[in-house]
């Protein structure tokens, strides 16, 4: 009934039944899965007396996600199988508002690179030289053995 009455659209009962069946299946699977998660993970035990509120909020969040997914599934199913979801006669249409704004062109001149210090060049040279000899020492020690 939620998928038929709540939206401000005209939708066939046939499409609503398919979406409701899919949502009920997801709720059944989810009830088992969330029960296993809450039982095994013990998410409420770390919060003491407030743990039951944490468990309740987790269940409400999960249920809302299933309900939203079911509503979207119903809309997509109805649209994909030839039944068009049409706004009802008393529905308000939402029209996009186009706002035109003149933007000034901002040009940022390129900044010259700062010269590097001699210390950075020395560090790069040390890294280059040491990287060449690091691999060789291991091979020489393996050959000697």
Name which residue leads in pLDDT, 139 or 100.
100
Per-residue burial over 3-42, b if 16 or more Cβ lie within 10 Å, else e, is bbeebeeebeeebbebbbebbeebbeebeeebeeebeeee
3-state secondary structure of 17: helix
Work out the average pLDDT over 57-84. 87
Per-residue model confidence (pLDDT) at position 69: 92
pLDDT of residue 136: 57
Longest dimension (CA), the chain: 90
Confidence band (pLDDT; 50, 70, 90) for 142? low
pLDDT digits (tens, 9 = 90+) for 83-126: 777 787 777 777 888 888 887 887 878 877 777 788 888 888 88
């Amino acid at each position: 009934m939620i998928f038929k009455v709540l939206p401000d659209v005209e939708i066939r009962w046939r499409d609503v039944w398919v979406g409701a069946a899919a949502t009920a299946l997801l709720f059944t699977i989810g009830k088992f899965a969330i029960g296993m998660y809450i039982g095994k993970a013990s998410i409420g035990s770390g919060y003491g007396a407030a743990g039951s509120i944490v468990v309740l909020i987790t269940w409400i969040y999960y249920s809302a996600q299933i309900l939203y997914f079911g509503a979207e599934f119903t809309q997509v199913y109805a649209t994909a199988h030839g039944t068009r979801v049409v706004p009802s006669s008393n529905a308000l249409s939402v029209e996009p508002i186009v706002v035109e704004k003149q933007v000034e062109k901002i040009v940022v001149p390129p900044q010259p690179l700062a010269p590097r210090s001699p210390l950075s060049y020395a560090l790069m040279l040390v890294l280059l030289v040491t990287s060449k000899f690091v691999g060789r020492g291991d091979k020489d020690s393996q050959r000697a053995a």
